[in-house]
Chains A and B, each alone.
Chain A
Amino acid sequence: MAIEINEDNIKQGLLGLVLALVEIIVETLKHQAVRRMEGGSLTDEEVERLGRTLKELDQAVEAIKDDYGIKECVRSVREGLDSSLNGILTQVPVIMASETARKVAASA
């Protein structure tokens, strides 16, 4: 099947990829922030400041996606990454089992 490529969809695709990666980073930051808040290592003021910053970052990412019409593209990149990661994770037990079998065979 032929894939149509033009300058516009290259730009959109690249921006979609960048935004997908930014989203993942923002999600990691939010995850870490919640952990630190739950751990009690932040003052109320620090929690509030951190929350506001992350909220603004979140809103900025959403605004860029809206402005450039790349919501669908970002979603598709995220799904692709999720599916690749799932594929790798399901292979881990197989790889570990074959590695164990190799070590057992080597030590026998």
Chain B
Amino acid sequence: METSNARKSPPDGEARYLYCIAESRGEQDLGDIGIAGNGVYTIPCMGLAAVVHDCHGQAFEHGGKDEMKACLLDHQRVVQIAAERFGTVLPLGFGKIITGDEHKKPEEKVVDWLRSSFKDFEIKLKKVEGKAEYGVQVFWDVSLVTVRLLDEVPHIRTLSEEIKIKKAGTAFLYEEKLKKEIRLCLEDAAARHYRTFYEKIKDVAEDVRVDKCHKTSDDRKMLLNVSCLLNDRQVESLGEMLDDITGQEGFSVRYTGPWPPYSFV
């Protein structure tokens, strides 16, 4: 639905909250689907359009953790809806706004921004066209690997045997030494596995972004955390590759998506 004055929801604020950039002509109304029910519409320029809602100087009212989470989910939902409607979109991070000033209205500033970054947006849109982002997290069971190390690595096995025949004080220091040796072996194995998995994923995907590994509450430790840009054919190949990893004892995989390509714009 195309309209020349699609803005339905108040307020006609002094800023515009940005969701994503899409390929679209003419101002379009997406309805009251924005954060906190704000009316979402597009500001077009040169065949591109910014998907926005009207706001005041702040992106949103400061609230608690739950309110922020709800706003974040609203943001993601709008990007998803825009992607369904316009095809490829460049998603923007949560909380981005463009404010007006005494010389220019906010929508004029948005148009200026679209015009000045036009080339960059075009290149990025081409890069992500027909592709989506997928999250891959590989975990390993540290307890299981440690048990295996105690059995398979000669100097660790010898050390753990020696502890049994030492006096209490000496055994305590030997245990510390054993912990250190196990830690070194785990670090070495983690680096080896990381390289192997990363190379395999890189071979399959269009592009890969490495994210920080997070702490987990159980014995499973995150070994690799990446975002991949994939087309449909690559999704299938990656799925097969991840099945291979899951098939290895002690390893598990969390695979999420498809998402708008937040990490690649």
> What residues make up the interface of A, taking CB atoms closer than 8 Å to B?
1, 30-31, 33-34, 37-38, 44, 47-55, 58, 79
Contact = CB atoms under 8 A, between A and B. Distances in A.
B169 A51 contact: yes
Contacts of B169: 47-53, 55
B172 A55 contact: yes
Interface stretch (B87-95, B173-181, B184-192): B173-181
12 contacts: A30-B173, A30-B176, A31-B176, A33-B176, A37-B173, A37-B177, A38-B177, A48-B169, A48-B170, A51-B173, A55-B169, A79-B215
- Tell which of B168, B172, B176 has the most Cβ of chain A within 10 Å: B172
Interface of B: 64-65, 167-173, 176-177, 180, 215
Contact of A51 (B65, B172, B180): B172
A45 to B, nearest CB: 10
B64 A47 contact: no
Contacts, number: 43
Given A34-B176, A44-B170, 8 more contacts: A31-B176, A33-B173, A34-B180, A37-B173, A49-B169, A51-B168, A51-B172, A79-B215
A34 B172 contact: no
Nearest to A82: B215
Contacts of A48: 167-170
A30 B65 CA distance: 41
Contact of B64 (A1, A37, A49, A54): A1
Nearest to B63: A1
A41 to B, nearest CB: 13
A51 B170 contact: yes
B181 to A, nearest CB: 10
A56 B82 CA distance: 63
A24 B171 CA distance: 21
- Tell which of B64, B167, B169, B170 has the most Cβ of chain A within 10 Å: B169
Contact of B173 (A1, A50, A79): A50
Nearest to A42: B173
- Tell which of A1, A33, A38, A48 has the most Cβ of chain B within 10 Å: A48
- Tell which of A44, A47, A49 has the most Cβ of chain B within 10 Å: A47
A52 B169 CA distance: 4
A58 to B, nearest CB: 8
Contacts of A52: 168-169, 172
A53 B168 CA distance: 11
B156 to A, nearest CB: 15
Contacts of B168: 48, 51-52, 55
Contact of A47 (B65, B173, B180, B215): B173
A49 B167 CA distance: 10
- Tell which of B64, B65, B167, B173 has the most Cβ of chain A within 10 Å: B173
A19 to B, nearest CB: 19
A51 B175 CA distance: 10
A34 B167 contact: no
Contacts of B180: 31, 34
A49 B172 CA distance: 11
Contacts of A58: 172
B94 to A, nearest CB: 18
A48 B171 CA distance: 8
Nearest to B64: A1
A102 to B, nearest CB: 29
B176 to A, nearest CB: 5
A71 B170 CA distance: 27
